[in-house]
Chains A and B, each alone.
Chain A
Amino acid sequence: MSDSVIRAAHDVLIVGGGGAGLRAAIAIAETNPGLDVAVVSKVYPMRSHTVSAEGGAAGVIADDDSLDEHCYDTVSGSDWLGDQNAIEAFVREAPRELLQLEHWGCPWSRQPDGRIAVRAFGGMKKKRTWFAADKTGFHMLHALFQTSLRYAEVTRYDEEFVTRLLVDDGRVHGAVAIGLMSGRIQAITAKAVILCTGGCGKVFPFTTNANINTGDGMALAYRAGAPLEDMEFVQYHPTGLPFTGILITEAARAEGGWLLNKDGYRYLQDYDLGTPTPTPELRSMELGPRDRLSQAFVHEVEKGRAADSPYGPVVHLDLRHLGEALIDAKLPFVRELCLKYERIDPVHELVPVRPVVHYMMGGVSTDIDGATPLGGLYAAGETACVSINGANRLGSNSLPECLVFGARAGRAAAEYASAAGSTPSVVEAQATDEVRRLERDLLGKRPGGESIAAVREDMQATMEEAAGIFRTGPAMAKGADTLAELQERIGDVDLADTSRSFNTELLAALELANMLDISECILQAGMQREESRGAHQRTDFPARDDERFLTHLLVHRNPDGRSRIEHMPVTITRWVPGERVYGR
């Protein structure tokens, strides 16, 4: 079978082995042990970007908290663009999923009596964020990965990159993948496919995201005919380290850290976020939502009140008053990262920070079971848009999102696969076409003189210019024109590396093609949304416009390759759109 274009057949194929993908795999193995499930990932699962999440995972557990309050915080945090049926399911199931992780060994931080400890987080009115010091994502991912090893029935294809979904008659039947070590290009067929490939921060130059976050699943779905949703909403995290973009967790502020301008002034008080208090107030000041804090930074720069650094304007995160004992107990990774990458000790010194691209609210449009409009295709985690995050995600909602919707998508895909028929023979021809495309168009190509790095750099600069914290119609239109030129240039990309073995240049070329498609979707949706909501702030349309835009935008790909935007209503169950109020 190994020389055939079809390498293997499974019931469910999961693309991506991070938090959502592994949770989906375990859900299928537990609920449908008879099904044959496989996980294909371009990195070993424990390298997935879930590993970098720091602050925590939200789930109602404290006695003074309620599901309704978590719902309301999430709905208002989303600027009323989140779908409330999805948010209600998410909030209801998050605590059980986090308990499940506890049973699987996640070393959650504890109260003295042994119960789970929770901390405050931005935009949350109650303490409900579970944490494992400040390496929460790392511990969750390793607990999931190590637990997944129990299920020997789960097949893994590690370090294999999916290049195309196989689709026939509106249904997905598997994928074509390149084995990085072997260089072998073959199809893996499946009755259902779940995309769990994470976000696409690498379309921007300055991001907390890892090198692998190139939006592969979004691009695969888009090209296969599934629409992307809420793509115009890009989250800037307010506190990244200059130069590297390394994330300094919101937990630093939840534990009591302050944001200061160059005069040592807690400037957030000037932006309708409340008044300063010595100890943190929930939903106030430094514990406001990320979109509002990142926007306040830009205004401080405009007023000339930001500090200078070799890498542009910064503000300061002040943790000194927290003391060494608390920092070492609750924020050890923050201290380690500051010492290593800034040569600054936050116990004694101010930490320079600036907003940094962190998270995509948008993604592959799904229902609350992770199903896309394409038969047999599912998505979960940052790749997907359910949409619980709407126009702005609250910190610590994304880790439980991976668990809740990973498990839901796993169960739904298992049910679909159990009822699905056999793989049509046309799939083999499609796979052969894809193998030929990769062999001839990429590996066997004559040099065209363009460099991958140069096109990628131009794309990133274009996106920063056009789709930053504040946007305008003309700037986005100009960016879209530049992207069209870059799409031409990528056709002339020169692959110097013709080796079959671990060809990371080929990988980079395929990732770049994915990112260019996604960049275009971000700008097209951004141009259509003529209002300001959450993370999408347009200086030419500064107000929220519920009359025209209390709606999701879906980006479809037309057969000619161009994008087409459609509207989809927001689901409102119990919380009518209102003003977002923080600090008062």
Chain B
Amino acid sequence: MADSIRLQVSRYRPDTDAEPHWQEYDVPLRKEWTVLDGLNHVKNEIDPTLSFRWSCRMGICGSCGMDVDGEPKLTCGTFLTDYEPGPVTVEPLANFPVVRDLVVDLSDFMAKLPRVKPWIIRDDDHRTVEPDVEYLQTPEELDAYKQFSMCINCMLCYAACPVYGLDPEFIGPAAIALAERYDLDSRDQGTRERLDVLIEHEGVWGCTFVGECTRVCPQHVDPAAAIQRYKLKAAMATVKAFLLPRGGR
């Protein structure tokens, strides 16, 4: 194993740079070191002006997503030794506006998330219900939605999604997976409300089922399956609307 590895890092400062450019840093290559450790070495020892987001360094907070050698990755779970002998490129996540260096602008996702109503909807308005006892939910009912509840909002699926890249109006994999997470929850009664949002023309229809979202997900969520299920639900709703009085509602 070599002693060091070269990082090629995308730099961009809006106050001074017209466009992004590459900057190279040699960092120690150690078997325990992740790409994030390499970036922190740069920040602490070589160049304190490099900006990037990170926090938990254990793959759960979702802050440190970047494109590593062109693939969206959580840098805290991506090891430098996997890129020997280097160089390895580190860029901001694709498909997002770049704020600065490796920091992208997530405002679009943050605005889209509430639109799919990612909370429990009940016919009895639970804002006023004082909980005395749990809603029963068997382990099997829990398993029905569990994988869709594992999303950490890291945005790797948006960076990998060719549809989102072309059409920013597309509501996107993580948001749709979260809608499905609540739809499948036995405690929830909000499927119809979410469907109304998602069958709008850019809700789910943009997806051409490339499946990149599922492939890159670090939590093994399957957003592609969620999108597929929504297309089916939407098609069923359309058929019902056509066949049944009052649109089947």
Contacts and interface: CB of A to CB of B under 8 A. Distances in A.
B139 A110 contact: yes
Given A341-B58, A499-B13, A499-B49, 15 more contacts: A47-B63, A51-B56, A52-B58, A110-B137, A113-B138, A114-B141, A115-B136, A181-B99, A246-B57, A246-B58, A453-B43, A453-B45, A499-B14, A501-B14, A504-B51
The interface residues of chain B, by DSSP majority, are classed as loop
A114 B141 CA distance: 9
A314 to B, nearest CB: 14
B131 A502 contact: no
B152 to A, nearest CB: 7
B25 interface: no
B90 to A, nearest CB: 15
B110 interface: yes
Given A105-B119, A244-B57, A100 B178 contact: no
B15 A114 contact: no
26 contacts: A43-B63, A47-B62, A51-B60, A52-B58, A99-B133, A99-B134, A103-B131, A104-B119, A109-B142, A110-B142, A114-B141, A142-B149, A146-B118, A149-B113, A149-B119, A158-B110, A211-B56, A333-B60, A452-B48, A496-B49, A497-B51, A499-B14, A499-B15, A499-B16, A501-B99, A505-B51
A107 B110 contact: no
B137 A49 contact: no
Interface in B49-86: 49, 51-63, 77
A504 B51 CA distance: 6
Interface string B132-148: 11111111011001100
Contacts of A152: 114
Contacts of A51: 56, 60-61, 152
B134 A115 contact: yes
Interface string A21-59: 000000000100000000000011011110110000000
A108 to B, nearest CB: 8
Nearest to B103: A502
B105 interface: yes
A273 B200 CA distance: 62
Interface of A: 30, 43-44, 46-49, 51-52, 96, 99-100, 102-105, 107-116, 135, 138-139, 142, 146-147, 149-150, 152, 158, 181, 210-212, 243-244, 246-247, 333, 336-337, 340-341, 451-453, 495-497, 499-505, 508
Contacts of B149: 107, 139, 142
Nearest to A133: B146
Contacts of A210: 55-57, 61
Contacts of B180: none
Contact of B131 (A96, A107, A337, A341): A96
